Amino acid sequence: MKFAPFVDLLGGEGAQAWEILTESRLALDRGEDVIVLSIGDPDLETPGFVVDAAVDALRKGDTHYTELEGRHSLRASIANKISRSAGVEIEPEWVTVLAGTQNAFYSACRCLFGHGDEVIVLDPAYVTYEACIASTGAQQVRVEQPAATGFRPDVDAIERAVTPATRGIVFSNPSNPTGVALNGDELEAISRVAVSNDLWVVVDEVYSDLVFDGVHHSIAGLPGMLERTVTVSSVSKSYAMTGWRCGWAVGPPELGNHLRQMALINLYGLPGFVMEAADVALREGAEETETARAIYRARRDLVVKELSRASDLPVLVPEAGMFLMADVRAHNADANDFAWDLYRATGVSVLDAGAFGATSRGWVRISYGVDDLQLEEACRRIASFTG
């Protein structure tokens, strides 16, 4: 049987890197001695009061169709959150609730980009961005954030990449995989490029609550950016709710109208009890977010300390999130081969960071989404493996 050409766009150059995650999780299910550091799924539990809100909603019969754009109360909570980080007033009408950051990103891309367009993507970038952009018919233009400068944005290179066909700029802030949190000067420089060239900016802020020093700032709040920025995020990481699949896109109401139509054809609305849980998390979960941030910061410090014992394994100290990048080129120029050799020798599963782009080839991404004992043991095994 023949499939549509669209299916050829659903993968990406880095897809094979995820095979190690599949294998290690199967081994874990079999009870084997493996430690999975190749996925960003928090080991923390969803807060009890959030679970209770969902259960209460279910018991009250909240099992019917819901508003396509999401419940107004949740949209208001999201608008308040983004208003604080952007420093500008954002109304609930600017918010569309979708099935996680991934669905929000995909939906936004389908509404913004099309055949003949070029989209600048800061490299390295989250793996699925490539397929999301390709699905629109647009061409992604990768702009390297060099490893030599700590994977920070090269604004001159971004500006040089702009052509008459350029339609937008895409990046995550804080970054997955690097853990880089963009500073005010970097955000202002990117905003100047966007405004002067009349470009959309799509920014993934799913790790915004996990900035270790200082506070997160949304680019949407800079002059001229509110009407051209689409901010996607979710409750997944901050509140340990990855499986709840509740996220959002924040952008101009005109875009919201199109996103509502996207929700009509591919979601038909999120479950009400899920939205009730997310709303409670956003309204009452400040303490839980602070706790999660402290836990991940302590784990980051543990990994940096323990991997300092490894031989020829430079690391990039992350400013946010739940991942750390390690340079394995002294051991193997092919980081995917290194990751598999490490896994077969020690049972520790890490991810080839080359999956995120050419700039991060020769690096691996290490998640600290497991408890301290597992993390310390994993680092000990990595250090031993490197000699």
Question: Mind listing the pLDDT tens digit for each residue in 323-334?
Answer: 999 999 999 999
Looking at residue 2, its pLDDT comes to 87
Could you give the CA distance from residue 314 to residue 86 in angstroms, rounded to a whole number?
A: 34
The number of C-alpha atoms within 13 Å of 79 and in the hemisphere containing its C-beta is: 18
Residue 8: pLDDT above 90?
no
Work out whether strand 229-234 and strand 200-204 pair parallel, antiparallel, or are unpaired: parallel
pLDDT, tens digit (0-9, with 9 covering 90-100), for 347-383: 999 999 999 999 999 999 999 999 999 999 999 999 9
Which residue, chain included where needed, has tokens 């397929």?
Answer: 131
Residue 9: pLDDT above 90?
no
The mean predicted confidence, pLDDT, of the chain is: 96
Report H helices in 40-136.
Answer: 48-59, 72-86, 100-112, 129-134
Residue boundaries of the structural domains of the chain: 5-45+287-385, 64-284
Select from 3.30.70.980, 3.90.550.10, 3.40.640.10, 3.40.50.720 the CATH code of 64-284: 3.40.640.10
Which one-letter amino acid corresponds to residue 312? D
- Confidence bin at 73 (pLDDT 50/70/90): very high
Which one-letter amino acid corresponds to residue 153? P
- What percent of the chain stands above pLDDT 90? 94
As a whole number, mean pLDDT of residues 244-257 equals: 98
Radius of gyration of the chain (CA): 21
Which one-letter amino acid corresponds to residue 40? G
pLDDT, tens digit (0-9, with 9 covering 90-100), for 136-171: 999 999 999 999 999 999 999 999 999 999 999 999
Residue 9 · residue 134 · CB < 8 Å: yes
Residue 5: pLDDT above 90?
no
Report H helices in the chain.
Answer: 19-29, 48-59, 72-86, 100-112, 129-134, 155-161, 184-196, 253-266, 272-284, 286-307, 335-346, 372-385
Residue 11: pLDDT above 80?
no
Query: Residue 237: what are its φ and ψ, rounded to 5°?
Result: -90, -45
- Confidence bin at 82 (pLDDT 50/70/90): very high
Which CATH number describes the domain made up of 5-45+287-385?
A: 3.90.1150.10
Looking at residue 13, its pLDDT comes to 65
Domain 5-45+287-385 matches domain 64-284 at the CATH topology level: no
As a whole number, mean pLDDT of residues 209-222 equals: 95
Looking at residue 387, its pLDDT comes to 84
Closest listed residue to residue 247, CA positions, set 191, 207, 286: 207
Could you give the CA distance from residue 177 to residue 12 in angstroms, rounded to a whole number?
A: 16
Looking at residue 15, its pLDDT comes to 67
Could you give the CA distance from residue 338 to residue 312 in angstroms, rounded to a whole number?
A: 13
Could you give the CA distance from residue 98 to residue 92 in angstroms, rounded to a whole number?
A: 14
